[in-house]
A and B are shown apart, each in its own frame.
Chain A
Amino acid sequence: MSEMPTEPIEKARPESLEKAGKSGLALDRFITFAAVIVLFTFFSLTARNFFTMRSILSLALQTSTITLMGIGVTFVIITGGIDLSIGSVVAFSGTIAVIAARAGLPIWLSMVIGLCVGVVIGLLNGLMITRLKLPPFIATLGTMMVTRGVALTITNANAWPAPQDFGKLGNGTVFGTGPQFPGIPYPVLIMIAVALIFGFILSRTRLGRYTYAIGSNQEAARLSGIKVNQVKMINYVFCGLLSALVGIILASRMVTSQPNSATGYEMNAIASAVIGGTSLMGGVGTVGGTVIGSFIIGILTVGLTMAGANYFMQQIVIGLVVIGAVTVDQLRGRK
């Protein structure tokens, strides 16, 4: 079947039609983006108070955590891997940061320590996958359990309060003008910055190019001189780092350490990547797609809540959306 399209190409002239090449992709992006608009309009009409500045900001704030984790896991999935440990990393890094702050370290330093925890776990994942040659699913399943276990052990499963100032990052806002417009929360700004930076890395840098190359054909990438292990390591570190960032934001929002938090978040993050067009086979995916994917999940969650559907109902809907999104993708690919 794959040979068919070659024949028209044989006869076509090599005139460059650069833009046409990406039109398929642009259409995909448009469809998912249109889904966001449709959902948004739907809930604006059906749920009272959905379309207010306050609820839009709260939607962005709630979605920022899944978006950040989703961006990290998108990098890993594009290389053909997976990271199941990110939910546990969120809990563990937040807990460590709070412990550091409670021990009297400056707030900024304890947050940096929290981020380092994420980097270290990312490194460990990467080492197990590239040196011990463990399948990513197994390696990160292991770290998921170990990390969660350690977080629960050192806190005895208790939530510990953090110093007051620890809460600034998660609860502060900028550009606020009073009750009408409470301001843009810091986590939302962080999300925008991370999406821009990591989107740029993936689409415009050598590292991003290598990430796609490895996911598309690891052996061809190696034989092209790409340091496959090194690139994979960096990707798992990115994933750990962004999850740790989420851990700190969440701990800051609660102003407590939450060793039990973020259970199952890894699945939501993976779901947002998949809804956004990332292929679990590797080689395909974008940061923009994942952002849209996580907002689809976010709008559904907030919208359904406001429309009066309970948590169990939301799970059903989001699950169906994941299946639906990938089905549409498959059907389009088959043509």
Chain B
Amino acid sequence: MEAKSASSTHEVILEVENVSKSFPGVKALDGVSFDLRRGEVHALVGENGAGKSTLMKILSGVYQPDDGIIRYKGKPVTFSDVTQARKAGIAIIYQELNLIPHLSVAANIFIGREPLTRFGTLDEKRMNADAVAMLARLNVALDPTIKLNQLPVSKQQMVEIAKAISFDSEVLIMDEPTSALTESEINELFRIIHTLRDQGVAIIYISHRLDELKHIVDRISIFRDGRSVSTDDYTAISMGEIVNRMVGRKLENKFPPKQNVPTTEKILEVRHIVRTGVLHDISFDLYRGEILGIAGLMGAGRSELGRAIFGADPIDSGEVLMNGHKLSLRSPADAIKAGIAYLSENRKEEGLAVKMTLAENVTMANVLEICRRFGVLSRGQEIEVTQRYVKSLNIRTPRLTQIVNNLSGGNQQKVVVAKWLFCDSKILIFDEPTRGIDVGTKYAIYELIGALAREGRGVIMISSDLPEILGLTDRVLVLHEGKLAATLTTAQTTQEEILNYAAGVA
């Protein structure tokens, strides 16, 4: 893993010179320059809105630059659409995979250019053989006839990578490729990235998870506010310096100082919860003012445990007591009434009504509070409430009636937080609260979680980000295959210990 730049020939394959791009009301890119060499993994980092995505969309032909030159293999190029870029050998893999769940692995790889027999029917045999060959290039063995929706996300991503390189791509852009993967899957992905790099493919790697860069990156470019700040060999720059350049100011710590002091008063008691095949006899307590982490590998049942307490999924047996009283948890409506909130890990799918306005989303779980008699809404009250949260959470929006879909990821997450703050929940379950959001917003969310616990609420934080668990929580539950593997005191544990329990080797 440490043999970096071994195959980097220093030959520049792609060069971006002074590229600018404006959209109505904003300059997304302001004279950006950047170069990519054959056989290197080049990280591109920056906060949300720094212009990374815009540049990637220009390179892959989605947008055209207003100004500046892009040289590909030494010649100036302009791609008027994605097909042209792909034909030239530039492929992009988005965070959300572009695959068809009901089709087979092979069908997904060759969609739109399926090999045909002489009779004009699909040549399944050849397609499957070619798919196997393509996957073999990644050192991945996968049955090409299996349906996509029967594969875990990590394997689906490998199919996406195989599809990308099947166009004989020489430049591969990966946008947040690890956001849905577990530790071991990430290692597998890194192995594949190395394989491709050694074959001479140039890889642009975009990620918010700075700690993972050290395993794969050769060079790193930092963007801020639509400008390119710097490009360095990865070994020549410290993590602290990267973060400083990203935010443009000094960020002393990744985590805010501890604000909360857990009490000994039980606010939530979970007793023998069983959901057949998913959760096996899980019991734990949550104390007033405590931040309790839930760690575990993907599929260990972390989210499922949160959802069970919230009544989002039915449980087969067990009970949950809040302040000593047994709760009826047949639906989220019951849990919300009792004072429990659940911030889902999938913001867009489960947390927000993205076609509705910011204000409508903030009040969604507690509409009753802004109603006059007979369920008639008070718009004035709604605006007042929303205004309050926009201010206190520093949500950046041009107006309170902005459609949520048009907000950035970090601001969307704040809207979800506002929704549950407005419910005045006593217990808040955060499921991956910082996935895919930038460093600045992350810090704000950490501060908020601390403040909520300090006010005497109970916070459960489900996270696959171990530094986050260690930096924030008071205790950690580690799940392994649906069972509670360990309950650890955060101050006395280490990343290694948690991982050992999570992997079932401790």
Q: Enumerate chain A interface residues (CB-CB to B < 8 A).
A: 1-18, 20-22, 204-210, 212-213, 216-217, 219-227, 283-284
**B24 touching A283 by the CB < 8 A rule?**
no
Chain A, residue nearest B50 (CB): A7
Q: Enumerate chain B interface residues (CB-CB to A < 8 A).
A: 23-26, 28, 48-49, 51, 53-54, 57, 62, 310, 312, 331-333, 335-337, 342, 344, 349-357, 360, 364-365, 367-368, 371, 374-377, 383, 387, 390-391, 395-402, 405-409, 411, 419
B22 to chain A minimum Cβ distance, whole angstroms, is: 10
Tell me, in angstroms, the Cα distance from A15 to B353 when the chains sit together.
23
**B26 touching A227 by the CB < 8 A rule?**
no
Tell me, in angstroms, the Cα distance from A198 to B402 when the chains sit together.
25
**B408 touching A219 by the CB < 8 A rule?**
no
**A216 touching B354 by the CB < 8 A rule?**
yes
Chain B residues lying within 8 Å of A225, measured Cβ to Cβ, are 331-333, 335-337, 365
What are 19 residue pairs bridging A and B, where the CB atoms are less than 8 Å apart in the complex? A6-B49, A7-B49, A8-B26, A10-B396, A12-B397, A17-B399, A21-B399, A206-B376, A209-B360, A212-B353, A217-B349, A220-B349, A220-B350, A223-B332, A223-B344, A223-B350, A225-B333, A225-B336, A225-B337
Chain B residues lying within 8 Å of A213, measured Cβ to Cβ, are 353, 356, 360, 364
- A-B pairs with lowest CB-CB distance, top 3: A21-B401, A216-B353, A6-B408
Tell me, in angstroms, the Cα distance from A4 to B406 when the chains sit together.
8
Chain B residues lying within 8 Å of A212, measured Cβ to Cβ, are 353, 356, 360
Chain B residues lying within 8 Å of A224, measured Cβ to Cβ, are 332, 336, 364-365, 419
Given contacts A6-B49, A16-B387, A225-B331, list 19 more A-B pairs with CB under 8 A.
A1-B62, A2-B406, A7-B26, A8-B24, A9-B408, A10-B396, A12-B396, A14-B397, A15-B399, A16-B399, A17-B398, A21-B357, A21-B400, A22-B401, A206-B376, A217-B353, A221-B364, A223-B312, A227-B333
Chain B residues lying within 8 Å of A8, measured Cβ to Cβ, are 23-26, 398
Chain A, residue nearest B406 (CB): A5
A7 to chain B minimum Cβ distance, whole angstroms, is: 5
Chain B residues lying within 8 Å of A209, measured Cβ to Cβ, are 360, 364, 367, 377
**A12 touching B376 by the CB < 8 A rule?**
no
Tell me, in angstroms, the Cα distance from A224 to B407 when the chains sit together.
20
Q: A7-B26, A9-B397, A18-B401 are in contact. Are A223 and B351 (CB under 8 A)?
A: yes
B347 to chain A minimum Cβ distance, whole angstroms, is: 9
B297 to chain A minimum Cβ distance, whole angstroms, is: 24
Chain B, residue nearest A206 (CB): B375
Tell me, in angstroms, the Cα distance from A219 to B333 when the chains sit together.
13
Tell me, in angstroms, the Cα distance from A205 to B368 when the chains sit together.
10
Tell me which of B352, B401, B406, B408 contacts A217 (CB under 8 A): B352
**B375 touching A9 by the CB < 8 A rule?**
no
Tell me, in angstroms, the Cα distance from A219 to B350 when the chains sit together.
5
Tell me, in angstroms, the Cα distance from A31 to B25 when the chains sit together.
26
Chain B, residue nearest A279 (CB): B355
Chain B residues lying within 8 Å of A3, measured Cβ to Cβ, are 53-54, 408
Most chain B Cβ neighbours within 10 Å, of A11, A207, A283: A11
Chain A residues lying within 8 Å of B57, measured Cβ to Cβ, are 1
B309 to chain A minimum Cβ distance, whole angstroms, is: 13
Chain B residues lying within 8 Å of A7, measured Cβ to Cβ, are 23, 26, 28, 49, 51, 54, 408
**A220 touching B332 by the CB < 8 A rule?**
no
Chain B residues lying within 8 Å of A220, measured Cβ to Cβ, are 344, 349-353, 364
Chain B, residue nearest A221 (CB): B353
Tell me, in angstroms, the Cα distance from A225 to B374 when the chains sit together.
19
Q: A7-B26, A8-B23, A10-B49 are in contact. Are A206 and B367 (CB under 8 A)?
A: yes
Tell me, in angstroms, the Cα distance from A5 to B23 when the chains sit together.
8
A11 to chain B minimum Cβ distance, whole angstroms, is: 7
Tell me, in angstroms, the Cα distance from A7 to B48 when the chains sit together.
8
Chain B, residue nearest A3 (CB): B53
Q: A12-B398, A206-B368, A217-B352 are in contact. Are A18 and B383 (CB under 8 A)?
A: yes
Chain A residues lying within 8 Å of B397, measured Cβ to Cβ, are 9, 12, 14
**A206 touching B377 by the CB < 8 A rule?**
yes
Tell me, in angstroms, the Cα distance from A208 to B53 when the chains sit together.
37
Tell me, in angstroms, the Cα distance from A204 to B373 when the chains sit together.
12
B72 to chain A minimum Cβ distance, whole angstroms, is: 23
Tell me, in angstroms, the Cα distance from A11 to B371 when the chains sit together.
33
Tell me, in angstroms, the Cα distance from A5 to B391 when the chains sit together.
21
**B342 touching A18 by the CB < 8 A rule?**
no
Chain B, residue nearest A200 (CB): B376
Chain B residues lying within 8 Å of A12, measured Cβ to Cβ, are 396-398
Chain B residues lying within 8 Å of A210, measured Cβ to Cβ, are 367
A204 to chain B minimum Cβ distance, whole angstroms, is: 5
Chain A residues lying within 8 Å of B408, measured Cβ to Cβ, are 3, 6-7, 9-10
B377 to chain A minimum Cβ distance, whole angstroms, is: 5
Chain A residues lying within 8 Å of B344, measured Cβ to Cβ, are 220, 223
Q: A204-B377, A206-B375 are in contact. Are A216 and B356 (CB under 8 A)?
A: yes
**A18 touching B26 by the CB < 8 A rule?**
no
Tell me, in angstroms, the Cα distance from A323 to B336 when the chains sit together.
44
Chain A residues lying within 8 Å of B356, measured Cβ to Cβ, are 212-213, 216, 283
**B333 touching A6 by the CB < 8 A rule?**
no
Chain A residues lying within 8 Å of B310, measured Cβ to Cβ, are 223
Chain A residues lying within 8 Å of B400, measured Cβ to Cβ, are 16, 18, 21
**B406 touching A223 by the CB < 8 A rule?**
no
**B24 touching A6 by the CB < 8 A rule?**
no
Tell me, in angstroms, the Cα distance from A217 to B353 when the chains sit together.
5
Tell me, in angstroms, the Cα distance from A209 to B375 when the chains sit together.
10
Chain B, residue nearest A216 (CB): B353
Chain B residues lying within 8 Å of A6, measured Cβ to Cβ, are 48-49, 406-409, 411
Tell me which of A14, A204, A217 contacts B390 (CB under 8 A): A14
Most chain A Cβ neighbours within 10 Å, of B24, B49, B51: B49
Tell me, in angstroms, the Cα distance from A219 to B307 when the chains sit together.
13
Chain B, residue nearest A11 (CB): B26
Tell me, in angstroms, the Cα distance from A161 to B457 when the chains sit together.
69
Chain B, residue nearest A24 (CB): B403
Chain A, residue nearest B334 (CB): A225
**B312 touching A9 by the CB < 8 A rule?**
no
